[in-house]
Amino acid sequence: MQRANKILLGATLALAGAGALNTNAMARTVIYADIEPPALRVETAPGPRPGYVWVGGNWYYDHHRYNWRHGHWVRERHGYHYVPSRWEREGNRWRYYDYRWDR
């Protein structure tokens, strides 16, 4: 019985570690584009939804072209404020910063 518990604990820790590595890898993804992004589309945000924040639509760059991502709800994080995504010019190209939560 003790051996089974040790194996279960080891597997749980390994999976938890793999999940943490995956999250960190996603947080470091950087997207650059050589073409200026199109103007944002006008979206009508729905009325307030308790416990959630509306993330407005934005352009993402994939396979050398921009695609529109529609707005959606994300769960609110208490103690943090929402910072929207944005594109910024860096030299002769554009860099994408995904939305985030700051303290």
Centre a 10 Å sphere on the Cβ of residue 58 and count the other Cβ atoms it contains: 21
The mean pLDDT value for 81-103 works out to 94
Tokens read off for 44: 């009508």
Mode of pairing for the β-strands spanning 65-69 and 52-55: unpaired
Q: Taking phi first (over 0 means left), then psi (-120 to 50 degrees means alpha), and beta for anything else, what does residue 90 get?
A: beta
pLDDT tens, position by position, 48-75:
999 999 999 999 999 999 999 999 999 9
Q: For 22, phi and psi rounded to 5 degrees?
A: -65, -45
Answer with the residue of higher pLDDT: 54 or 10: 54
Q: Which amino acid is at 5?
A: N
- Map out the domains of the chain as residue ranges: 2-102
